[in-house]
Amino acid sequence: MKILVAPGLTQGTSPDDYHHCIEGELVSAGPCGCGRGFAGAASHRATTTAMVVESAMNRDDVILAFRTSLTDGGWPGEWAEDVADENIEIATRLPAGAIIPKTRELLPPRGAKEIARRRLPE
């Protein structure tokens, strides 16, 4: 199954990139204060990009990881299914290895020539 994780690649290709996550940790595309960060599930830190990877995790594993993260961060654990499904839904639509920067409305992939710049549905 494909999921979104924090990459270590392509950071710095945009002057506004930042990366404070643990490389390879699950990330959430939910809202952040600046509208540009993916939230790391393990580190509770942020990164401006996410990478699509093939994972041995299944949907239940992803839900559990986000439930644990949300609860640890003081957020409602009930949000875990929605957060997991959003992560999986975005990742499923892109090729493994795609790097996507987060903006308020667009998630254009970096490094995936076959993917056109597009607006993802909410």
Rg (the chain; Cα; Å): 13
The DSSP secondary-structure symbol of 77 reads G
Q: What is the pLDDT of residues 4-45, one digit of tens each?
A: 999 976 665 677 778 889 999 999 987 666 667 899 999 999
Q: Is residue 56 part of a domain?
A: yes
More confident residue, 58 or 29: 58
Domain interval for residue 53:
2-101
Q: Is residue 109 part of a domain?
A: no
Q: Is residue 119 part of a domain?
A: no
As a 3-state breakdown, the chain gives helix, strand, coil percent values, each rounded to 5, of 25, 20, 55
Q: Is residue 106 part of a domain?
A: no
Expressed in angstroms, the distance from the first to the final Cα of the chain is 21
- Angle among Cα 117, 53, 39 to the nearest 5 degrees reads 75
Q: Is residue 112 part of a domain?
A: no
Count of domains forming the chain: 1
Q: Is residue 122 part of a domain?
A: no
Q: Tell me: pLDDT of 113 over 90.
A: no
The predicted structure's pLDDT at residue 108: 47
Considering the entire predicted model, what is its pTM?
A: 0.80
What's the rounded mean pLDDT across residues 76-105? 88
